[in-house]
Structure 1
Amino acid sequence: MLDHPTLHQLKALKLDGMAEAFAELQAREGTESLTHAEWLGLLVDREAARRETTRFQTRLRAARLRHVGACPEDVDYRARRGLDKPVFQDLLTGKWIADKRNVIITGPCGVGKTWLA
C-alpha cells in the first residue's frame, strides 16, 4: 500500500478509525465504484464505531467490575440456589428500571449474588 498523505492527516487529527477504514478501502478491490458520499459514509461510520467502543471500554474500566465476563447466558439454573428462571428472565428485560423499581438480590454465602448483580 502506498503511503497516502491523507492517512497521515487522519492520524494527526486522532481519527484512527477513519485512518483504518481509509487504509482498508484503498487496499480492497472494487472500491473504485463507490461514490464519494459512500466512501465518506464508511469512514465516518468506522470512526463513530471506534469512538463508541473506546467510550464503552473506558466506562467498563472505571466501573471496576469484578465479574466483567458474566453474562445471562452463563447462568446455571440447575444449581441449588432457588433462582426462578422466569423471574430472572423478566428482570433481564429491564422493565423494572422503566417502572422505577429496585431489585435486591439475597441469599446465603456462595450462591453467586455478586456474579448475578
Structure 2
Amino acid sequence: MWNHPTAKQLATLPTFYSTENISLKDKVIYMHFFFGGCDWYVAEFDGEDAFFGFVILNNDLENAEWGYFILSELASINIKGFEIDRDLYWQPTKASNIERIKKCRLGA
C-alpha cells in the first residue's frame, strides 16, 4: 500500500462505536483510500486492523454502503504493480459534504 497510515495517525481515529450516536450523514470521514473507481472512507478504527466507514467499489454508486473493511487486506492488494493509495491531502470532512458519498443511494 502506498502511503500506509502510521500508528500515530491511526491512534487519532475514533474507536468503534464511539460515534454510534452520530447520524451517518454527520459522521466525520478521517481518511480516504482509493484505487481506480474504488473508494474507502474511514470514520472509525478498532485500534488493530479494522475500519468502519463508507465503501464505493467499481464506481457502483447504487451498491455502495456503510460497513467494515480491513487495513491489512487493503494493503495486500497489488494488481500488476498497482496498489491502493491513501489520500495524503485528505482533511476530516462530514460524510454529507463528500460528493461521491452524496451521490450514493445509502450515502449521506
Larger Rg: 1
User: TM-score normalized by structure 1?
Assistant: 0.20
Point out the structure with the larger strand share. Answer: 2
Point out the structure with the larger helix share. Answer: 1
Higher relative contact order (CA 8 A, sep 6+): 2
